[in-house]
């Protein structure tokens, strides 16, 4: 595989995941400001429906990622390894973003601190997904039996 292409892919994927993380962080900071100034009225009664919905959304995103991962890892060939790794990373980041942002919204509306676990876990998932040459080499090894990239 072309070392330059791998380097460009890593840079692109890192930028995408950093942009997703920045969006979660900025949205969280804005929500914190709105909460601290009481700009948005608290509606704690919404917690009874929004917290379970947040949990369902998070579990659903894990299930979807597992299914997408299975599909994208099927029929791996040397010519599609870069594209599959890239797709897995971007899809994983997007799926981590949904419950993270939803958690910020739930906190903003309900003031339930437990909702802040969602953005923390979402940022953790993005950190786990953050691409490296070693992760790509392990991906290649799982597909081909060799770490040669």
What's the pTM?
0.90
Q: How many domains does the chain have?
A: 1
User: How far apart (Å, rounded) are the C-alpha atoms in residues 113 and 109?
Assistant: 11
Q: Which residues of the chain have pLDDT under 70?
A: 1, 147-149
Domain range for residue 60?
Answer: 3-144
For residue 89 the two structure tokens come to: 């990373």
For residue 28, CA distances in Å to 42, 44, 67, 69 come to 16, 18, 29, 29
pLDDT of residue 64: 97
| pLDDT tens column, 23-34 | 999 999 999 999
User: How far apart (Å, rounded) are the C-alpha atoms in residues 144 and 122?
Assistant: 30
Q: Is residue 149 part of a domain?
A: no
Look at residues 140, 129, 144, 143 and name the one whose alpha carbon lies nearest to residue 3.
140
Q: Is residue 103 part of a domain?
A: yes
| pLDDT tens column, 50-76 | 999 999 999 999 999 999 999 988 888
């Amino acid at each position: 595989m072309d070392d330059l292409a791998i380097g460009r892919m890593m840079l692109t994927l890192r930028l995408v995941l950093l942009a997703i993380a920045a969006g979660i962080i900025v949205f969280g900071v804005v929500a914190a400001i709105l909460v601290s100034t009481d700009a948005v009225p608290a509606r704690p009664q919404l917690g009874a429906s929004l917290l379970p919905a947040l949990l369902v959304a998070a579990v659903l995103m894990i299930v979807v990622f597992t299914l997408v991962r299975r599909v994208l890892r099927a029929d791996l060939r040397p010519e599609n390894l870069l594209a599959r790794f890239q797709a897995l990373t971007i899809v994983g980041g997007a799926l981590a973003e949904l419950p993270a942002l939803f958690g910020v919204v739930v906190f903003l509306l309900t003031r339930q601190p437990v909702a802040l676990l969602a953005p923390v876990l979402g940022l953790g998932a993005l950190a786990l997904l953050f691409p490296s040459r070693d992760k790509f080499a392990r991906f290649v090894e799982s597909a081909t039996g060799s770490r040669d990239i």
